[in-house]
Structure 1
Amino acid sequence: MENILKLINEKKFIEAKERLEKENVVDIASFLEGIDKESVVKTFRVLPKDMAADVFAYLDHEERMHIINSITDSEISNIINDLYIDDTVDFLEELPANVVKKVLKNTDETKRKIINNFLNYPDSSAGSIMTIEYADLKQSMTVSDAINHIKKTGIDKETINTCYVIDNNRVLLGIISLRKLILSSNDILIEDLMKKEFISVNTLDDQENIAHLFKKYDLLSIPVTDNEKRLVGIITIDDIVDIIDQENTEDFQIMAGMEPNEEEYLKTSVWDLAKHRILWLLVLMISATFTGNIIRHFEDVLSSVVILASFIPMLMDTGGNAGSQSSTLVIRGLALGEIKLSDGFKVMFKEFRVSLLTGSILAIVNFIRIYFFEKVSFLISLTVCISLFFTVIVAKLVGGILPIIAKKLKLDPAIMASPLITTIVDAIALTLFFSLSVVLLNLPV
């Protein structure tokens, strides 16, 4: 690629174009994202027309914007008209209104109407990510007719691996694979070969639920129908991979106590990074004052037995870590569909049993360390370890059930991840510790 760029700079455009034709479009897009802006436009203009749209589809948002603002209206028209509908819609959804107008102005009328319909679907719905480039067949066709039809129309389709059988009103009747068509006799009717039991989604279904269907049924594509069961588009696996990546990124950010942000880290401004983090930091900082109030409330207990204060960090850290372990597993289970909302009691019972085992082992090891090695009195060692045992139990129960509660309240379960659970468990751990100290050590409140 460096040699190709050198040819372009030397204005050897024909030779550069011939070299580019031999490269993979994904590799070309990756290379363009690593060079200066001027060279990006130069290289893009040298690309063969049939490759330009494919390379454009793999570029990131910033590079696409730069190219659109740098090339002519006719070049924009060539790119947009060659892009698949779903890629076009994804691109336009990221653009400012004035740039969208510029792009649509240079799109042919038929495709412009289709794009406008797609843009009216809610974000994150099946309708917003589907494509209309699919292979459709009629049930009255023979295998020979169907293959000839695919040969005539398939060149512009995003995929022809699965064909969709519809009636005159475009109601979806069944599906049939290209493999089955090729291996069947020419005179057999499509209605006798098509699969009538199939998985489909509605235009308004949530994209995250659709991703679960792809995983569960090992799909490469899925048909999208309207409320009258008419076929309006399909969703392909490449779009689902992007959605899974997007949802995972969003969950990681929420679990770390940040607002979701789709921009790449190095391309996001310091101000935007701070803006996406500050809200949760403020919430967690203010909520942490509860632990401070608990400590002040039991000030007499601490002043009576000062050594108790040295065990507070250990209790709070262990409780927070125990809760985070449970919440991480439950959030993952919810995301993958392994845990359902009705499984709340099963999760609590399982986490309770796990907490009994882990809490007992931690308490015993801690007692040996404190009493035999640090020579702390028996009653204080016992108080600390009993507190630790109950803290682990509470932390695992809280960490296990809070994500499920969040899901029931139509919130993202990732909200109930480590930062928030740690704050809740810290308050409970301190209350348990001081209350047990008062009872077992006979201290003043």
Structure 2
Amino acid sequence: MEQIIFNLLREGAHDRALALITHPVPAEAARRLAELEPEDRWVLFRRLGSADARAVFLHLDDEEQAGLLESMGLDEAARFAAHLPLYTLARSHALLPRGYAQTLLTRLPAEKQKGVRAMLRHHEDSVARIMRGEFLAVSGQTTAAEAIAALRENPLLCDDTGSVVFVTGGDGRLRGHVRLSTLLRAHPDTQLGSLLESGKQSVKLDDNKVDAAHRLQRINLPVLPVTDHNNVLVGVLRFDDAMDVLEEDASEDVYKKAGVGDLIHANEVVRSEKLTAGGIGYPVKVRLMFLMVTLAGGLMVGGLIDHFEDTLAAVVALAVFIPLVMDMGGNVGTQSTTIFARGLALGHINLKRFFRVHLVRELLVGIAMGLVLGLLAGTVAWLWQGAPNGIPELGIVVGVSLFVAVTTASVLGFLLPWVMLRLGVDHAPGADPFITTIKDFTGLAVYFLLAGWLIGVT
């Protein structure tokens, strides 16, 4: 489809290309338009009727919206933007070139300017920057029939915002909400005040948008009311907007897990471009820096093995289980760092409760896994190499060493990324090398020391 449209545009057949883009559902038309290059997108968008253009525009991504506003030129963009919602204008303002955005803002109607400036005064990560102003709020004396009629008469309400009616007092303060399904089942003369659900499910203008999105995800509502510091209803957070926020937040953390930058300063996300595109100098430098830790650690572990050379020579069977102790700890450490990164990205890990809750829990998980794996491996070691060779203590040596390696790696898999976050260091390329070095050294040290003590060799 994209190639066909491209060819038609190059042939000058704009009307035929537009016919392929146009769709009764604005969201589908926006999807088709978004597949085109920016210059082609603008060529077709400008040929849409004003009503269709606004409907399609509102279904485009923020970057695509800003690109179209810039392509229009200031005069046309000002006329078009005068009919756009405040939240759309605020998002585009942040993405447009600074001078262009400021000039465009001054050309908007006074009331629209005031609304956009009010939104821009809030932090870019606040709910105020993503909330929508289309909602239906009525008094508690409104009947079910009147509320349904008001929903029918409001063309700006979509499926999400039209499925909940908010009830406010005379001062605009939120009292609660009534679902559309409840309205449809109620007697037409029933007042909404008697159908209210709790008004406590709301967020404030300056609440963090990621926290708000997680809250909406947990409750059974399609929209979450947004109130000011006086509990006056000022907007709503839609479910699809909340999911976009969570997807963006999760993607940002995943990129950082790949070695982009620390998770504390979000403005350093730009490092992902250096690691995934462009020259190879930066990724080689960043990754080699931490791999040097593994190199040094490997040499230290080699020195440890060399130190216990006589022990190995006396009990050759010990060499059989060295890979087991080393590799199992490495796998556990990788599991833990991955779980930490995903939990942090999805908001399941609260850094303020890290030691009291998450680290303690991971320690218990590590102990449980260490006990199971140590018992199994120790039993196998005893049956396979211990008893047949007259050294039954080998089972204890392998089991205890594996328990120590697994527990240590599990805790380090959570602790080291946390430490690196606090230090402002990329934890993705840095955590695993440190974990590998520490768990290998401690696991093998316990392994050989136990062997020397229980088996009686030095």
Asked if 2 retains the 8 angstrom alpha-carbon contact of 1:172 and 1:230, the reply is: yes
Matched, 1:301 2:307: yes
1:199 maps to: 201
Residues 268/145 of structure 1: CA separation in 2 closer, same or farther (3 Å cut) = farther
Asked if 1 retains the 8 angstrom alpha-carbon contact of 2:70 and 2:77, the reply is: no
Q: Secondary structure at the match of 1:232?
A: strand
Query: 1:178 & 1:267 partners in 2: Cα distance?
Result: 49
- What is the TM-score when the length of structure 2 is the normalising length? 0.76
* AA matched with 1:399: G
2:256 maps to: 254
Residue 337 of structure 1, CA deviation: 6.9
Query: 1:309 & 1:74 partners in 2: Cα distance?
Result: 78
The correspondence of residues 15-34 of structure 1 with structure 2, limited to 5 A, is 20-22=21-23, 24-34=25-35
Query: 1:267 & 1:145 partners in 2: Cα distance?
Result: 58
Residue 303 of structure 1, CA deviation: 5.9
Query: 2:279 & 2:93 partners in 1: Cα distance?
Result: 22
CA displacement, residues 159-214 of structure 1 (integer Å, 9 cap, x when unaligned): 22112111232211111123333443333322222224541112222222222222
Residues 364/59 of structure 1: CA separation in 2 closer, same or farther (3 Å cut) = farther
Residue 26 of structure 1, CA deviation: 3.8
Matched, 1:242 2:257: no
Asked if 1 retains the 8 angstrom alpha-carbon contact of 2:144 and 2:186, the reply is: yes
1:109 maps to: 110
1:136 maps to: 137
The correspondence of residues 41-56 of structure 1 with structure 2, limited to 5 A, is 41-56=42-57
Asked if 1 retains the 8 angstrom alpha-carbon contact of 2:122 and 2:206, the reply is: yes
1:394 maps to: 408
1:72 maps to: 73
- What is the TM-score when the length of structure 1 is the normalising length? 0.78
Query: 2:284 & 2:139 partners in 1: Cα distance?
Result: 57
1:155 maps to: 155
2:431 maps to: 420
Residues 17/399 of structure 1: CA separation in 2 closer, same or farther (3 Å cut) = closer
Q: Decide which moves more: 173-182 or 355-364.
A: 355-364
Q: Decide which moves more: 160-169 or 311-320.
A: 311-320
Aligned mate of 1:355, from 370, 381, 390: 370
Residues 423/163 of structure 1: CA separation in 2 closer, same or farther (3 Å cut) = same
Residue 102 of structure 1, CA deviation: 4.0
The correspondence of residues 335-350 of structure 1 with structure 2, limited to 5 A, is 341=353, 342-344=356-358, 345-350=360-365
Query: 2:131 & 2:308 partners in 1: Cα distance?
Result: 63
Query: 1:355 & 1:240 partners in 2: Cα distance?
Result: 40
Q: Decide which moves more: 341-350 or 163-172.
A: 341-350
Q: Secondary structure at the match of 1:155?
A: coil
Asked if 1 retains the 8 angstrom alpha-carbon contact of 2:259 and 2:275, the reply is: no
Q: Secondary structure at the match of 2:236?
A: strand
1:437 maps to: 448
Query: 1:366 & 1:101 partners in 2: Cα distance?
Result: 73
Residues 262/88 of structure 1: CA separation in 2 closer, same or farther (3 Å cut) = farther
Residue 32 of structure 1, CA deviation: 3.6
Asked if 2 retains the 8 angstrom alpha-carbon contact of 1:258 and 1:280, the reply is: no
* AA matched with 2:451: L
* AA matched with 2:76: E
Query: 1:273 & 1:199 partners in 2: Cα distance?
Result: 49
* AA matched with 2:170: N
Query: 2:430 & 2:260 partners in 1: Cα distance?
Result: 10
Asked if 2 retains the 8 angstrom alpha-carbon contact of 1:225 and 1:233, the reply is: yes
* AA matched with 2:300: I
Runs of at least 5 residues in structure 1 that lack an aligned partner in the other structure: none
CA displacement, residues 91-148 of structure 1 (integer Å, 9 cap, x when unaligned): 3323331232243244332222212211222232222211122111122333344344
Residue 301 of structure 1, CA deviation: 0.8
Query: 2:415 & 2:337 partners in 1: Cα distance?
Result: 8
Query: 1:169 & 1:329 partners in 2: Cα distance?
Result: 47
Query: 2:24 & 2:201 partners in 1: Cα distance?
Result: 37
**Equivalent pairs: percent with the same residue?**
24
Aligned Cα root-mean-square deviation (Å): 4.4
Residues 396/120 of structure 1: CA separation in 2 closer, same or farther (3 Å cut) = same
Q: Decide which moves more: 415-424 or 317-326.
A: 415-424
Query: 1:171 & 1:418 partners in 2: Cα distance?
Result: 50
* AA matched with 2:202: S
Residue 242 of structure 1, CA deviation: 0.6
Residues 314/114 of structure 1: CA separation in 2 closer, same or farther (3 Å cut) = farther
Asked if 2 retains the 8 angstrom alpha-carbon contact of 1:294 and 1:427, the reply is: no
Matched, 1:322 2:332: yes
Q: Decide which moves more: 249-258 or 330-339.
A: 330-339
Q: Decide which moves more: 229-238 or 313-322.
A: 313-322
2:212 maps to: 210
Q: Decide which moves more: 139-148 or 220-229.
A: 139-148
Asked if 2 retains the 8 angstrom alpha-carbon contact of 1:295 and 1:430, the reply is: yes
Residue 309 of structure 1, CA deviation: 9.0
CA displacement, residues 216-240 of structure 1 (integer Å, 9 cap, x when unaligned): 2232110011222111211001111
Runs of at least 5 residues in structure 2 that lack an aligned partner in the other structure: none
Residue 241 of structure 1, CA deviation: 1.3
The correspondence of residues 164-175 of structure 1 with structure 2, limited to 5 A, is 164-175=166-177
The correspondence of residues 359-374 of structure 1 with structure 2, limited to 5 A, is 359-362=374-377
Q: Secondary structure at the match of 1:318?
A: helix
Query: 1:438 & 1:156 partners in 2: Cα distance?
Result: 74
Asked if 2 retains the 8 angstrom alpha-carbon contact of 1:324 and 1:399, the reply is: yes
Residue 79 of structure 1, CA deviation: 4.2
Residue 420 of structure 1, CA deviation: 0.9
Asked if 1 retains the 8 angstrom alpha-carbon contact of 2:136 and 2:151, the reply is: yes
Q: Secondary structure at the match of 2:178?
A: strand
